[in-house]
Each structure stands twice: as C-alpha cells, then as structure tokens.
A and B are shown apart, each in its own frame.
Chain A
Amino acid sequence: MKFLAVILVVAGAALLLRGADDRAVPGLPANVKDMRTTEFTSEQYYEAPNEQQIKLRFSGASAITLPGGLQEIRQVRIEMFYTNGSTRAVAETPKCELQPFDGVASSAGRLVLQSGDGKIHIEGDGFLWRQDPVTLTISNNVRTVVKLGTNSLFKL
C-alpha cells in the first residue's frame, strides 16, 4: 500500500537544546539533551487516483522527544478527510505519546471526536490510535451523542 507521510516543521518552529538536563535522549546525538518542536504536523495522503488528497492530518502545538524515540505531543488534533477534501472527522486531546515510526499514538487522557458535519460527538477516556490502517480505540467511559432531526446519522 502506497503510504506517504510527511512531517513538516512549520516556519517558526523552535528547536530547543536544553543544557540544564544532562540526561541524553536515546536515538538522538549525544550532545542533544532534549528536542522540542512547535507546530508539529504529519500528513498522510490517499492512494492513487486520489494521491493529491490528504487522508489524515496529525498535528500538535508542540512535540517533545522522549526516551525511546517517543514524542509527547501537546494540543493534539487528528483530522480525517474524504477524497473530495471535506472533513470526515476531527479528534482532539490535550496530550498523547506518539511512536512516529510505528504511526501509533496513545494517551490515558480524554479524547473528543466530532464528525465533519458536527452531528456526531464521541468522547471517552484513554485511547489508542493507529495510523495505518486507521483505527481508533477509546477504552473507557465512551459517550456518543447523535443529533437527529437531520438527514444524516452516523455519518463518519
């Protein structure tokens, strides 16, 4: 399966090398003690013939590299799109840990998922997100609200 993931460090991104903490971070050069990125964005595209369309965008306000190659992402936003470019769903959580090479994100925190048309709202505590293939598990206290009186239901 053709898979394209692009990690963009947007203009203004800051790479902070903190000397105060002497612990080296595995996977990084020895002189790099900590690495922090702002405006983290990763995008995945559809296969042909829709290879120009973004399938999924994973973004965060900041990313901190943790031991073991994990990244702690703050203010996480996961957006899924249809092949016509319209938004399929948006998931948000305050913080999660991302395994960038495995495409796996997880957190014990709260996740809120909203369908693109805003008619389905799903939230719960603790989640596991896999990027390829896309799966999402919310493991506790799941609550969904479906707004009826419209012509769409479970449009996700």
Chain B
Amino acid sequence: MKKLFFLLAFGIGLAVLAQTAAKPKTQKEPVGDTEINADRFDFIAENPLTNGLMITTNGLLIYTGHVLVENLRAKVLCDRLVVYLPKNGEEPNRIEAQTNVVIVAVNNGETTRATCSLAVYTRTVQAGATNSIVTLTGNPLPYFENAKGSATAAHIEWNLITGNYNASGNLRMNIKQSVMEGSGTNKSPIKLF
C-alpha cells in the first residue's frame, strides 16, 4: 500500500500564506504580520502566463531571489514565490514556492522542518465548502521531520481543512525509538507526526 493517511498535528509553514482562509484546527497561536523579503518583485496585473494551468487569474505576484516569508509561527525560504491573484480581489487560490524550498513551522510548541523543490498551496470552493491543500513535490524528494521522526515521499499532500496528510510514491519513514517505546498496548495509537 503506497498511500498512507496521517493524522498530523504539525503545520508546515506554507500555510502562513493561507491561514485566514483555512483556519486549521491545530493552528491557534497568534501569527502576527507576515513579512516577505526578496531581491526582486514582479507584479503582472493582467493576462499573465500561467504555464498551461487551467486557472483564471487576475494577476501574479512574483518574488524572486532569496525569498523569505516569515511570521511568528513559520518561515518559508525559496528561490521564487508566485501568488496567483483571483478575480474580484478574493483570496488567492494558488501560491507556489519554487526551488530550494525550506519550511520551518512551529505548532503547539513542536517544530517541523520540510524541504522540497515545489510547494503549492491551492484553494478551491466546491458546493460551498472550501478545500485548502498544500502539496510538496519535486526532485530531490520532499522531506519533512519533527521531534517524532522524519519521512520522504514523492508526493506529500496536506489538507489544511481536515489536517490529514497523504504521502505517496517512494515513501520512506523514520520513527524515533522514543516514540515507539512510549506506545504500549495500553497507549493510544502512535501518531507519527
């Protein structure tokens, strides 16, 4: 079985770009203002190229070079950050962190670190329900770790609404022994992350 569902408590930092839209149950600490620093900024207000993506956009915000996104809960570093602006000034429905992506997030006192070459936040609304997902992909394989262990997989998908993770493809996990030792028969099932 190549797909595993995790009920995960950590928050990967790209969510800072979508916190107000998603409001996942596990993120209740104050966020503060989010600051983005970069070498260069491009605002393409109309008719932007979307690399074949079937999305309607009202423009792009592109940060390039030593991009650092930071707030009280998370840091995201990458070479390029692209925000797809939807029509009518609504919430962004797609944000991409591209190349050398490093995400460090603190949630409930636990620090999580993730790396990948492409992290994509997407937000869709279907039948009145909002679905917000962060997908980590690329080469080298996405990697994440926290106090309980680490894992790599070709495709890691985090549902910000439900808090579920779906990891697939070349999945490899390392669980720290201390976590295993604490899981006797009378204990609750292990939550890896």
Contact = CB atoms under 8 A, between A and B. Distances in A.
A138 interface: yes
B37 A143 contact: yes
B33 A145 contact: yes
23 contacts: A80-B45, A82-B88, A88-B89, A113-B43, A133-B46, A134-B44, A136-B41, A137-B43, A138-B40, A142-B63, A143-B35, A144-B36, A144-B37, A145-B34, A147-B33, A148-B32, A149-B20, A151-B91, A152-B89, A153-B20, A153-B34, A154-B91, A155-B89
A144 B19 contact: no
Interface of B: 17-21, 31-47, 59, 61, 63, 71, 83, 85, 88-92, 95
Contacts of B31: 148-149
A104 interface: no
The 9 closest A-B pairs by CB, nearest first: A134-B45, A144-B36, A142-B41, A136-B43, A138-B41, A146-B34, A142-B38, A154-B92, A148-B31
A135 B45 CA distance: 6
A133 B45 contact: yes
A65 to B, nearest CB: 28
Specify the main secondary structure of chain A where it touches its partner.
strand
Interface string A116-156: 10000010100000000111111111111111111111111
Given A88-B89, A145-B34, A156-B85, A150 B41 contact: no
A142 B33 contact: no
A154 B31 CA distance: 16
B43 to A, nearest CB: 4
B39 A142 contact: yes
A19 B61 CA distance: 47
Nearest to A144: B36
A80 B44 CA distance: 13
B70 to A, nearest CB: 11
A153 B41 contact: no
A126 B32 CA distance: 28
B111 to A, nearest CB: 20
Nearest to B71: A148
Given A138-B41, A154-B85, 4 more contacts: A140-B39, A143-B35, A148-B20, A153-B92
Contacts of A139: 40
Interface string A30-50: 000000000000000000000
A122 B89 contact: no
B57 to A, nearest CB: 12
B21 to A, nearest CB: 7
A152 B18 CA distance: 9
Contact of A137 (B40, B71, B90, B95): B40
A144 B39 CA distance: 11
A137 B38 CA distance: 12
Contacts of B39: 140-142
Given A148-B19, A148-B20, A153 B43 contact: no
A134 B41 contact: no
A151 B83 contact: no
